[in-house]
Amino acid sequence: MDSTGKRVRSTTADRALPPGVLIVMALTASLLLLVAARYGWHRDELYFLEAGRHLAWGYVDQPPFTPLLARLADTIAPGNLLVLRIAPALATAGTVATGSLFVRELGGDRRRQVLGAVAVAAGAFTLGIGHLLSTATFDLLAWSVVLWLTARLLRTGDCRLWPVIGAVAGLALLNKNLIVVLFIALAVGVLLERRWDLLRTWWLPVGIALTLAIAAPHLLWQAANGWPQFAMAQALAERIGTENRALLLPMQVLLLGPLLVPALVRGVRWLATAADGRIFRPLLWAWPVGLVLVLVTGGRPYYVLPLTVAVALAGIAATGVRRITLALTAAVALPIALPLLPVAAIPVVARANASGAESVGWPELADQVTAVVRELPADERERVILLSASYGEAGAIDRFGPDRGLPPAYSPHNAYADFRRPTDPDATVVAIRFARDGRLPQHFAECSQVATIDNRLGIDNEAQGQPILVCRGLRGTWPEVWEQLRHIS
């Protein structure tokens, strides 16, 4: 039954994905796997790898799902970057499929379903996060599935979909908490359109209960640890909130693809004015509500991008899109989002996408730290502590250090601060990315810079040009110092 009470008929062929969509999915996943091992590990992936070795139901900055995937990949093929990135490639193919399904729910014929799949696959954001093991990769898939199921709910009025939506939401909360923003936005849209038929049903509380049941282990961990996710969100807003707010709207255009803005405009018009688009109007209301929520909280611009894409897909479902538009969108996005160009091109590409720059130089960093440790007196080498100001450099030491004879790294940054803590008060500390006049030297009798991080590629990133210090003579105890050094960002 649809929302007007009319029976909706569909054949098996109608329900199946068009062959063109399957081809787009396969090509997307194949391309991502083909370039999976290019450049190197991203700093966040190195962090997830170590987090996966300290499995928990939560961390100060994220739920457990992505670290679990990193643990599984590292168990299957230790240190293999291609295996690590199989799950993101498959998730991205799933996101492409849900884009097509969304277009179908809005009435798009099979040709437009293929066009919708291509539009999703050609997006710079879709490709960029599809290349990496990232919480955002699976969050995009979760948002896309919820939007597709919501469109189906709006069209059919079949409230039995609520438990399905609730299950997806529960799984999403085990990966990232942002799905809450989507449900607030959708709830406002449903209320503004007075779709009481979707709310006056016992299936809704069943769906909510299912969400809470699936996400309960992580939610209980958050509650037991003082809800650190809120402190993390506040820290991000204080550090980059102003920049995020300024870029919120421009980044919707850039990440969607400037050439798809006409489709976005047509989507707004169709959802707002067309008779057959009216039942989907809660999706239109949800878009600005989501934008406002991200604006107020100072969240990253990509947080609300799935809603922007959904409105553009509504335009494609209503009127289609020219194939040349999609071809040009992909042509621009591919070299920016994926490591297709030589390493020498990274500084140019990094102006639009910094992921490539943060994926190089890690073995070289481990080499430099190894050289510093070998210069220490023999008695100090036996008790050296490797301390990094950031989880990225610590993750690089833990990934590449064992083959070079280095001990595990310590870092007071985010959840790394809980993975392990220094205990030897007499150990010599090799400190990475701590400023000579910063917080660390005040806790030691002596701190001197002995090297400067150099990736030997001339590529500017977070680590490049940062100091390596050697510190001796800890003042106080490590528990006291650790609490003063630990930070989230």
Please, what is the Cα angle at 55 between 77 and 41, to 5 degrees? 45
pLDDT tops 90 at residue 3: no
Query: Phi/psi of residue 62, each to 5°?
Result: -170, 160
* pLDDT the model gives residue 176: 95
Alpha-carbon gap, residue 277 to 269, rounded angstroms: 9
Alpha-carbon gap, residue 400 to 429, rounded angstroms: 19
* pLDDT the model gives residue 5: 41
* pLDDT the model gives residue 403: 95
Contact 30, 82 (CB under 8 A): no
SS3 78: coil
The 3-state DSSP composition of the chain as helix, strand, coil percent (nearest 5) reads: 65, 5, 30
- Per-residue pLDDT of 140-154, as tens digits, reads 999 999 999 999 999
First-last CA distance in the chain: 49
Half-sphere exposure of 111 (CA within 13 A, CB side): 6
Encoded tokens for 211: 């969400």
Which residue from 161, 201, 165 is spatially nearest to 183, judged by alpha carbons?
165
Contact 37, 84 (CB under 8 A): no
pLDDT tops 50 at residue 1: no
**Which residue, chain included where needed, has tokens 């878009």?**
287
- Per-residue pLDDT of 338-396, as tens digits, reads 999 999 999 999 888 999 999 999 999 999 999 999 999 999 998 999 999 999 999 99
Task: Give the confidence band of 128 by pLDDT, cuts at 50, 70, 90.
Answer: very high
Secondary structure in 3-state letters for 26-69: HHHHHHHHHCCCCCCCCHHHHHHHHHHCCCCCCECCECCHHHHH
pLDDT-above-90 percentage for the chain: 91
Alpha-carbon gap, residue 207 to 159, rounded angstroms: 10
How far is the CA of 338 from the CAs of 86, 141, 165, 248, 356, in angstroms? 15, 19, 32, 23, 8
Which residue from 320, 328, 185, 305 is spatially nearest to 253, judged by alpha carbons?
305
- Count of all residues that appear for the chain in the document: 489
Task: Give the confidence band of 300 by pLDDT, cuts at 50, 70, 90.
Answer: very high
* pLDDT the model gives residue 14: 59
Please state the rounded mean pLDDT for residues 88-93: 98
Alpha-carbon gap, residue 321 to 314, rounded angstroms: 11
Alpha-carbon gap, residue 310 to 74, rounded angstroms: 35
- Per-residue pLDDT of 56-89, as tens digits, reads 999 999 999 999 999 999 999 999 999 999 999 9
To the nearest 10°, report the CA torsion of 381, 387, 391, 392: -50
- In the DSSP assignment, the letter for residue 413 is B
Encoded tokens for 325: 């538009």
Alpha-carbon gap, residue 51 to 73, rounded angstroms: 13
State the alpha helices, DSSP H only, in 299-390: 305-319, 323-337, 346-349, 362-374, 378-381
Task: Give the confidence band of 34 by pLDDT, cuts at 50, 70, 90.
Answer: very high
Contact 293, 183 (CB under 8 A): no
pLDDT tops 70 at residue 26: yes
pLDDT tops 50 at residue 414: yes
Helix (H) or strand (E) holding 471: strand 467-474
pLDDT tops 50 at residue 35: yes
Domain ranges in the chain are 12-349, 361-485
Task: Give the confidence band of 8 by pLDDT, cuts at 50, 70, 90.
Answer: very low
- 413 forms beta bridges with 487
The reported pTM is: 0.93
Alpha-carbon gap, residue 288 to 272, rounded angstroms: 13
How far is the CA of 222 from the CAs of 66, 210, 483, in angstroms? 17, 18, 20
Half-sphere exposure of 242 (CA within 13 A, CB side): 2
Q: What is the mean pLDDT of the chain?
A: 94
Please, what is the Cα angle at 190 between 184 and 191, to 5 degrees? 90
